[in-house]
Amino acid sequence: MKHRLWFGLLCIFALAVSANAADWSIQRFEGREYVSLESIASFYGFPKPPAVELTDHPQPPIAPVATGPATATPVAPASKSDEPSAISGAEPPPAVAASKTITLDSGSSQLEVTVGLREMQINGVKQWLAFPVLWHDGQVFISRLDLSKLIEPHLRPEMIPGLQGFTTVVLDPGHGGHDRGAVSKFGFEKDFALDVALRARPLLEKAGYKVVMTRSTDVFIPLEQRPAVANHIANSIFISIHFNSSNSNADARGFEIYSMAPRGAPATNDAHASERDLREEPGNTLDLPSGALAGSVFHALLGQVPMVDRGIKNARFAVLRLSTVPAVLVECGFVSNNAESTLISSSAWRAHVAEAIVDGVENYRTLAEKKSRPKVIADYRRTAVSGGSVR
C-alpha cells in the first residue's frame, strides 16, 4: 500500500513537470526522451537560450528516434563497491569534450549547462546529471529523467511530493573498529568522521532534535545495519559522514554529497547505464526528498566552508540503497590531499564542518515544514559578508 501511494505521488509530480507538455520540444535520442533547453528555459522563466552551433568542437552525430520504445544497449557493468571511501578522485567521464556552455539567469534562479557533459550548475552549485547534455540541429537537449528527478527538484524543491517534518536525526559516522577507512599522516577517516558527528550532536539537540548515532565509539557496524537504525525511527532523516581519498589523484580535493540514484539512472561515478539501474531499491521510495536533503546540506557546507565544489551526486551505496527515510552521504574532503588533510586534522575546522551540516539540516526542515525555498549558497555568503547568523 505504501509503495502504491508513493507511486501515485510520483506520477502526480511527473504530471506537474509535464504541464503544458504540448509546448515542450521533446525528442528521442538512442531510445531516451530528451527535452530542449529552450522548453526548460520557458517553463522556469529563464531567458531564451541562444542558438548553439558546434563548428569548432562538433559532437559525434546522434541519430534521433521519432517514435517507438526505448531500445536496449549493451553497457558496462556497474561498480559493485558499497564503500564510499573507495571512490576515485577522478570525476565521472563526460561523453564528449566540453564544447559550449550556456548560462541562464532568471533573477531568482541560475542554470548553467555544457554540451557533452554530465554536469550542470544550479543556483551556483554543481549538480551531476544521469546523462550527458546533447546537441542536435542547433538546439541543446537534457534528458527527461534528469529534468524530472534532478533539475525540477532543485529549482522548485517546495513542489517535491512527500516532504515531511522530522524530529530525529540519525548520524552515521563512517567505518569504525577494524575498518579504519581512508588513512592520512594525521590519522584515520573513522576517527575524523566520529569527531564531526559528536560535534554535530549537541548542536542538533540544542535546535530541538532527538539525535541517534549508529556508533558513538570506535566500533564496527555492518553497512546494512546503519540505515536500519533510521528505518525503525518515525519522522527521522539519515546523514552518513565520511572523508574521501584517492589512490590515483593526489590533487583531488573538495566536498561532495551523495543521495540515492533515481531508478533508470546510472550512478554518478559509473560511465554507463546498466541493467542494475532499472532495479527498484528501497531507497528509491524517497529519492526526491533525499535529493532535497542533499541540496540543503551541500549549499550550507559550501556557503560556510571554503572548499572545492565536487557536486551533488547520486549513488547506490548500501546506506542509501537500503534507507527508507531521507538519506545522504557527505564526503567532507580528501585525506589523500596534503592541504586538505592538514585542514581535516584541525579540531576547529571539523567543528566548523559540523556546524555547517547542522545548518543544512535546519535548511531542510524549513523546506519540509514550511514548503518554502531553502537557502542557497549565495544566501549563506551574503549572510557571512553582512556578519549575520545563518541560523
Q: How many residues does the chain have?
A: 391
pLDDT in tens, 307-348: 999 999 999 999 999 999 999 999 999 999 999 999 999 999
Cβ(344)–Cβ(243) below 8 Å = yes
The helix/strand/coil state of 171 is strand
CA-CA-CA-CA torsion sign (298, 194, 237, 207) = negative
Reported as a pLDDT band with limits 50, 70 and 90, residue 81 is very low
Which domains, and CATH codes, for the chain?
Answer: 18-72+94-155 (3.30.457.10), 168-386 (3.40.630.40)
Report the C-alpha dihedral over residues 186, 188, 190, 196, rounded to 10 degrees.
10
- In angstroms, rounded to a whole number, what is the distance separating the alpha carbons of residues 85 and 174? 9
Reported as a pLDDT band with limits 50, 70 and 90, residue 170 is very high
Cβ(299)–Cβ(210) below 8 Å = no
> If you average pLDDT over every residue of the chain, what do you get?
86
- Given the C-alpha cell 594525521, which residue does it identify? 186
- In angstroms, rounded to a whole number, what is the distance separating the alpha carbons of residues 100 and 382? 30
* CB within 8 Å of 71: residues ≥ 6 apart: 30, 31, 65
Reported as a pLDDT band with limits 50, 70 and 90, residue 82 is low
Pairing relation of β-strands 168-173 and 210-213? parallel
